[in-house]
Amino acid sequence: MQLLNDVKLDFSDVLIKPKRSTLESRKDANLHRIFKFRHSNIQWSGVPIIAANMDHTGTYAMHVALFNYDMLTAICKFTKYVQVENAIQTIGLDTNLDEIVYDPQWICLDVANGYTERFMSFVEQMRKHEATKNSIIIAGNVCTPEATEQIILAGADIVKIGIGPGSVCTTRKMTGIGYPQLSATIECADAAHGLGGHIITDGGCVVTGDIAKSFGAGADFVMLGGMLAGHDECYGQVDGEHMTFYGMSSDTAQLLYYGEKQTYRASEGKTVSVPYKGSVSDTIEEILGGLRSACTYAGAKCIKDLPKCTTFVRVNNQLNTSLGNG
């Protein structure tokens, strides 16, 4: 047994200290980034926000909406993949690489636990396989710098960071496993960037300020699930003023895609009802507006500069909730 005494932080534990800005207006903040990836050698330009590869948010309707903002969508692995620009194909460890769409620009190996030899071996196979050797490979999830380095060295361009922080994930409750997401982002970003790799912060963002903190902590991309749930572009029916949203390791998902609850495992996701919000475009506009404001407050001309402009301040309370949480 080992006990780590140094404090690890989540998004709610900090605020970003404001600094002098040279920007004349929020509209001048540049949210686009240009990336060149370590292994694939592909260059991509866009706003580095990704819709999560859950069946509720990882839809082609979501892709169409986010494409208009130069964002990415990770298509759910249970959806038939059609190769279109800015759509990420999702696969699992049970995927036959010989059967995937040939030479996808983006492909994501998505598992709950990336700390297995089988997972690392599969990443190596993907980088060598004829169909995926030139692709931008995303792999995860993990939450520690050692695993991040290992996955990049195995052949991934981008590592997905997060064990249990998602809004409909119950891994931490069921297993006691995890790592506070802000600290995980800071430590894994440092590890990845030292090798010329990149990371995605996956899970834990509740408000736009959390997305800004993720970028400030060094995340190259931020993946959103719960914040994009409940929109017209999501999978599922509107029931009055609500939509059903569930984790992909929940009993609901297991019954839907496997026909039964797998008896050897516990559910690590929950099913909830979220408010119906209409078009996702309104939510995206709010997110982008908040990020532009964050850049101006922090003194960053562009989202790429946020990490070097960010000073985190530890707090006991960050919101005045005397009149509610809105």
The string of DSSP codes covering 6-69 is: S----GGGEEEPP-----SSGGG-B--EEEE-TTT--EEEE--EEE-SSTTTSSHHHHHHHHTT
Topology of the domain comprising 32-312: TIM Barrel (3.20.20)
Task: Please state, in angstroms and rounded to a whole number, the distance separating the CA atoms of residues 144 and 141.
Answer: 10
Sequence ranges of the domains in the chain: 32-312
Summarize pLDDT for 278-324 with one digit per residue, the tens. Answer: 999 999 999 999 999 999 999 999 999 999 999 999 999 888 888 87
Q: What angle do CA 139, 143, 149 make, to 5 degrees?
A: 60
- Helix or strand or coil: residue 249? coil
Give the span between the Cα atoms of 242 and 160, in whole angstroms: 30
Please state, in angstroms and rounded to a whole number, the distance separating the CA atoms of residues 204 and 214: 10
- The span from the first CA to the last CA of the chain, in angstroms, equals 42
By annotation, the residues acting in catalysis are 169
Whole-model pTM over 0.85: yes
* Residues 231-285: tens digit of each pLDDT: 999 998 888 899 999 999 999 998 989 888 878 888 999 999 999 999 999 999 9
DSSP per residue over 288-315, as a string? HHHHHHHHHHHT-SBGGGHHHH--EEE-
Phi, psi of 124 (to 5 degrees): -60, -40
